[in-house]
Amino acid sequence: MSSQPSTPSSPSSIIEEVSSRTMSDVVKDFNTEELIEYLKKKNLKLEESHFKILRKEEIAGSDFLNTSKEEFQSYGMKAGPAKRLAEFIESLGQKLRNYSSLKTLDDLKEMLRRNKEINNDDKALNHCMEDIILKLSNVETMTDANEATRCEFISSILHASIAIAKKLTSQDIFIVLQKDISGEDATGRVDYAIKSLEDLLCITEGKPRNIKIGYAQNLAQLESAFQTNKKKRTADQAFGNDYFDYIYGIVTTGTEWHFIIYTLDGIFSTSGSEYQINLTKSAVKENPELLRNNVKRVIGIIVGLLKDRVSVDCSPTSKRARIKKLIKK
């Protein structure tokens, strides 16, 4: 049975809801596997044996939040991981940052809609479509597909986008899977990091279904990635009063695609409602051209983001002027 992609909430409503809660409010809704997936992305130095204990005890998010160090030890954990988990649970009670400055990037979307540089006969696009159609024929169903399954399709689209962006810009652009990124306040592993030789350009978070959690994670990742880029600047560049930079983020389920700009002046996002790909067997059989057009459109957006990020003048004044053209004040 195939399913149509769902219509997501607006980014502003998602972030407003997320920012008014603590991370505990998000974690309490996790089932056991979602909890383990979340913990694996934190720098808690946990081993697979620790995750097996969580599975054996069937600990979901609400249980996890009420578990003490002593209880973790009673389940068979050593003192070290038990203490780290207990301290991590305590930290989840802190308020999430307020992202109320989020706006819809109408100007950004208009710029990306004007990107006509991807030809229908582009080799990377054709390879991507062949890969997606092959994978859809081998997947039983995309209904309730887990993150690993959806990442198969996300990866195809990201690799095609990077190949096209490299060809158009003649710049070295790379993808790094499961990259550890540390900032001033947080550290963790991101699903996909797209980088040039010096800078992180874009951070992508793939989620099976929960866009709210994906936004919260991606915003924290973008902040850390922004700080990582800043550390690589010279003192004059990075710590002057006129310092300005930005980084792009993507939150996606494979079917829904949301695009974010993170800057010190604010956080801005496109809506995901118009950036969707129907990854179903029926889409291949009934309307393959629509499937191709939607994949091409998303690739065009990602290529536009990467082109902008690697091509913009590195001076703070130029970067600020560039973003002001994209963001509707």
Instruction: Give residue-wise pLDDT tens across range 117-142.
Output: 678 888 999 999 999 999 999 987 77
User: What is the pLDDT, as a whole number, of residue 299?
Assistant: 92
Cα 235 to Cα 79, 185, 316, distances in angstroms: 42, 21, 13
Handedness of CA 253, 307, 241, 197 (dihedral sign): positive
Task: Name the amino acid, one letter, at 142.
Answer: M
Domain boundaries, the chain: 22-91, 106-326
| 17-66 pLDDT, tens digit each | 444 446 677 788 888 998 898 888 777 889 999 999 999 999 999 999 99
| 186-227 pLDDT, tens digit each | 566 778 888 886 677 777 777 666 666 677 777 777 777 777
Q: Are 279 and 153 in contact (CB under 8 A)?
A: yes
DSSP for 20-66 reads TSBHHHHHTT--HHHHHHHHHTBSS---HHHHHHHHHTT--HHHHHT
Q: What number does CATH give the domain 22-91?
A: 1.10.150.50
Residue 99 has pLDDT above 50, yes or no: no
| Torsion region of 166: left, alpha or beta (phi above 0 gives left; psi -120 to 50 gives alpha) | alpha
Quick check: helix, strand or coil at residue 280? coil
| 253: Cβ contacts below 8 Å, ≥ 6 apart | 150, 206, 207, 208, 209, 211, 214
- Tell me the whole-structure pTM to 2 decimals: 0.62
